[in-house]
Amino acid sequence: DIVAVESATYFLSKGIFADVGVATVELAMDAEGLDVDALSARLKGGLKIKALYTIPNYQNPTGSTLSDTRKAQLARLAAEYDFYVISDEPYTLLNFTDPKPPTSMAEHDGGSGKMIALGSWSKLVGPGLRLGWIQAQPQTAAKLVNLGILNSGGGANPIVSGMIHYGLESGAVVKNIEMLREVLGQRLATLDRALRKHCPSASFVTPKGGYFLW
């Protein structure tokens, strides 16, 4: 089996796939993220993949965000060529200059069941929590949660799950995300000014959210 990944991606992702015996193939990117037209051409040329791993929003490490047009195009390709899109979206809610967070790939599923969007409380509340969530169509989510390891253990990290549940109900999680947006946005602005002043020959793109400037 082959999983496609972006040419610049989360540095541990290839190792994770290799650990379960899955080969990876790199896909071209441009300033807007994954080059979906280039992917389409490769699929038409015979490339066969089981899944595509992407970080569409405030990408790690480039900071790019895939447009809704490209997201919809990618979803259509997944349905046509029968592969899953594993959309890693831990930074989506950390928008700084964007008026609202970018859309999740799950919003572009169209009923195909091919979109699997992943979120992480580790990036929004605290790095030690090691807890996340999945957005997917019911038929897809059922395949992911009906596993022996989850049924036996009663869920993933149940104590932290209870803490997050309380934080969501009380509004504390939302307040923390709002604080992160403000603090990280200020840090980005400071870094941007410093780079322009002290490294005038450097080439970079200032992201509209997330953790990364490339």
Nearest alpha-carbon partner for 86 in 58, 43, 49, 38: 49
Give the integer Cα–Cα distance in Å for 150 and 73.
Answer: 34
Please say whether the beta carbons of 123 and 90 come within 8 A.
yes
Phi, psi of 119 (to 5 degrees): -115, 165
Low-confidence ranges of the chain (pLDDT < 50): none
Q: What are the residues whose beta carbons fall under 8 Å from the beta carbon of 75, sequence distance 6 or more?
A: 85, 105, 108, 109, 110, 112, 114, 115
Tokens 């896909």, located at residue: 27
Tokens 């980005």, located at residue: 188
Give the integer Cα–Cα distance in Å for 62 and 8.
Answer: 7
Rounded to 5 degrees, what angle do the CA atoms 163, 169, 171 make? 100
Polymer length in residues for the chain: 214
Give the integer Cα–Cα distance in Å for 88 and 175.
Answer: 23
At 155 the pLDDT is 78
Phi, psi of 48 (to 5 degrees): -120, 125
pTM comes to 0.95
Q: Map out the domains of the chain with their CATH numbers.
A: 2-198 (3.40.640.10)
Q: How far is CA 137 from CA 41, 55, 115, 123, 141, in A?
A: 27, 19, 8, 24, 6
Helix 36-44 × helix 68-81 angle, to 10°: 20
At 194 the pLDDT is 98
175-195 pLDDT, tens digit per residue, is: 999 999 999 999 999 999 999
Helix 172-198 × helix 158-170 angle, to 10°: 90
At 152 the pLDDT is 84
Give the integer Cα–Cα distance in Å for 15 and 17.
Answer: 5
Give the integer Cα–Cα distance in Å for 129 and 160.
Answer: 7
